Chain A
Amino acid sequence: MTSPPGAHLPEHPDFLWDDREPASSYDVVVVGGGGHGLATAYYLAKVHGITNVAVLEKGWLAGGNMARNTTIIRSNYLWDESSGIYEHSLKLWEGLEDDLGYPILFDQRGVLNLAHSLQDVRDSVRRVNANRLNGIDAEWVDPAGVKEICPIVNVSPDVRYPVLGATYQPRAGIAKHDYVAWGYARAAHAMGVHLIQNCEVTGLEVEHGRIAAVRTSRGRIVAGKVALCAAGHSSVLAKMAGIRLPLASHPLQALVSELLEPVHPTVVMSNAVHVYVSQAHKGELVMGAGIDSYNGYGQRGSFHIIEQQMSAALELFPVFARAHLLRTWAGIVDVSPDASPIVGLTPVGGLYLNCGWGTGGFKATPGVGDCFAHTIAHDEPHPYNAPFTLERFTTGALVDEHGAAAVAH
């Protein structure tokens, strides 16, 4: 007798991690099972030997912004403070696949940040010079150079916003976001970290100025330290401990086309026309938009934003005209006043903040995981995140990265 079709399917592959029931207490509870939370748990275990750690995720692991970003990795920010943490992150990306022992499809295909006005040109050249002074690879390329690096970009002068040149960071690139999360989850789990899904934090208990426990949809968990890695929901969580944050949560939309032959060899971003484009390994064109103007927690945005983004993309890449849109979605991004993150201590003892990454958190995943783990383990900021305090909004020591981060802000 012949077997029916499908009867000889291979065994289910081994799970990368076990789905744990929460224990009654942990040394460190990380709130948020996205890239930052998983990376933080990984470096806590690996670098600091702290393995009695739980990562609490209200949905499924890496199902929030980690599943919704456009996977762009670069470090070409203006100020020294930003150069420090983003370049630290890029260096970790360069060794991450070996470090995790898991493929992440990190591909340093370079990023072009286009300039469309004289002011753009001046700002871009300034940023290139600042990058080079900080040892970060950067160059200014003219329109012919843009065409050489990415032949499908329309550099003709007779468009509404002609390309006047671009900054180019060759070491920038993309990675497979899911694999990054799974790689961190697998490695953290192997060192004893508990990954707990479907576990929403509903309260933070503070006793005598120090964090004592977290209340969750799956019971109370006593915690020595609590680290918030909740991106768009950071304001809601921090408020549970009486802390106000200078953040606004906005929808940020992105979309993909159907699968296409390789046509786009690099990553192209344009602040002026609000679009950024790369082509995923599988073949989809991945495009991000600017944020929707209003506050929103709904993981959806307005269609006219997509429309504007598409018109910008089409002017820059006429070859996309026949591509079909496959899927659009939105994530919730926590935008800070200076377009820089907030990473460090809080007025509550044992409670640590990692938020305000806005539209650009993915690229920082390894870097902030490493620095935030250090901050938690030593109860003092790592030098790379020391400038990114909550207090800077009172002292005035802002790190204004609207120029380097402004595609979507």
Chain B
Amino acid sequence: MQLIPCPWCGPREEAEFRYGGQAHVAYPEDPSALSDEEWARYVFFRENPSGPFAERWSHSAGCRRWFNAVRDTRTHELLAVYRAGEPAPEVTA
């Protein structure tokens, strides 16, 4: 089974984690000012790259904390993990 290095707990089996989709999607600062188009972008549209992807994971059966990872979606290799609030590290696949 794939090991995911939780930034607090270290490497744990994938089955302990829940996936949270794309990272760094901020809630709109002024929601009432958004057009339908902008709401659609916020609610439904996410990056879907073939390659490195910054995404959220929750260590739901461990420390229960959220963190971010950059993972190559072609190989599923985890290129970096970092704690919530930290900027995405520069990585190359």
Binding site for B on A (CB under 8 A): 233, 235-236, 244-249, 293-298, 300, 302-304, 337, 393-396
Whole-angstrom distance between the Cβ of A239 and the nearest chain B Cβ: 8
A304 touches B48 (CB 8 A): no
A297-B39 Cα distance, complex, nearest whole Å: 27
A296 touches B73 (CB 8 A): yes
Q: Which residues of B contact A245 (CB under 8 A)?
A: 45, 48
A294-B46 Cα distance, complex, nearest whole Å: 13
B14 touches A298 (CB 8 A): no
B45 touches A393 (CB 8 A): yes
A47-B80 Cα distance, complex, nearest whole Å: 52
Whole-angstrom distance between the Cβ of B14 and the nearest chain A Cβ: 6
Q: Is B29 an interface residue when CB atoms closer than 8 A count as contact?
A: no
The tally of residues in B whose CB lies under 8 Å from a CB in A reads 26
Q: Is B64 an interface residue when CB atoms closer than 8 A count as contact?
A: no
Q: Which residues of B contact A394 (CB under 8 A)?
A: 36-37, 39-40
Whole-angstrom distance between the Cβ of B91 and the nearest chain A Cβ: 16
A244-B19 Cα distance, complex, nearest whole Å: 22
A222-B26 Cα distance, complex, nearest whole Å: 41
Apart from the given pairs A246-B44, A298-B75, A337-B44, 20 other A-B contacts in the complex at a CB distance below 8 Å: A236-B49, A245-B48, A248-B48, A249-B48, A249-B73, A294-B71, A294-B73, A295-B55, A295-B73, A296-B76, A298-B73, A302-B1, A302-B2, A302-B14, A303-B1, A304-B15, A393-B40, A393-B44, A394-B36, A394-B40
Q: Which residues of B contact A244 (CB under 8 A)?
A: 41, 45
A248 touches B46 (CB 8 A): yes
A246-B46 Cα distance, complex, nearest whole Å: 6
A304 touches B14 (CB 8 A): yes
A295-B48 Cα distance, complex, nearest whole Å: 7
Given A246-B44, A393-B40, A394-B37, the answer on whether A297 and B14 have CB atoms closer than 8 Å is no
Q: Which residues of B contact A233 (CB under 8 A)?
A: 50
A294 touches B76 (CB 8 A): yes
Whole-angstrom distance between the Cβ of B58 and the nearest chain A Cβ: 11
A236 touches B44 (CB 8 A): no
B76 touches A298 (CB 8 A): yes
Q: Which residues of B contact A246 (CB under 8 A)?
A: 40, 44-46
Q: Which residues of A contact B49 (CB under 8 A)?
A: 235-236
Q: Is B67 an interface residue when CB atoms closer than 8 A count as contact?
A: no
A233-B55 Cα distance, complex, nearest whole Å: 19
Q: Which residues of B contact A248 (CB under 8 A)?
A: 21, 46, 48
Sample (15) of A-B pairs whose CB atoms are under 8 Å apart: A236-B49, A246-B40, A246-B45, A247-B48, A248-B46, A249-B48, A294-B71, A294-B73, A297-B74, A298-B74, A302-B2, A302-B14, A304-B15, A337-B43, A393-B45
Whole-angstrom distance between the Cβ of B81 and the nearest chain A Cβ: 14
Q: Which residues of B contact A396 (CB under 8 A)?
A: 36
Whole-angstrom distance between the Cβ of B84 and the nearest chain A Cβ: 18
A247-B55 Cα distance, complex, nearest whole Å: 15
A302-B41 Cα distance, complex, nearest whole Å: 30
A328-B36 Cα distance, complex, nearest whole Å: 43
Q: Which of B69-93 contact A (CB under 8 A)?
A: 71, 73-76
Q: Which residues of A contact B75 (CB under 8 A)?
A: 298
Nearest residue, chain B, Cβ from A234: B48
Q: Is B24 an interface residue when CB atoms closer than 8 A count as contact?
A: no
A249-B40 Cα distance, complex, nearest whole Å: 19
A295 touches B53 (CB 8 A): yes
Q: Which residues of B contact A302 (CB under 8 A)?
A: 1-2, 14
Q: Which residues of A contact B53 (CB under 8 A)?
A: 295
A330-B2 Cα distance, complex, nearest whole Å: 16
Nearest residue, chain A, Cβ from B37: A394
A295-B53 Cα distance, complex, nearest whole Å: 9
B55 touches A294 (CB 8 A): yes
Nearest residue, chain B, Cβ from A295: B73
Whole-angstrom distance between the Cβ of A355 and the nearest chain B Cβ: 11
Whole-angstrom distance between the Cβ of A386 and the nearest chain B Cβ: 19
Whole-angstrom distance between the Cβ of B9 and the nearest chain A Cβ: 18
A395-B37 Cα distance, complex, nearest whole Å: 8
Q: Which residues of A contact B73 (CB under 8 A)?
A: 249, 294-298
In the complex, per-residue mask of B21-57: 1 if CB is within 8 Å of any chain A CB, else 0: 1000000000000001101110111101110010100
Nearest residue, chain B, Cβ from A238: B48
Q: Which residues of B contact A303 (CB under 8 A)?
A: 1
B45 touches A293 (CB 8 A): no
Q: Which residues of B contact A395 (CB under 8 A)?
A: 36
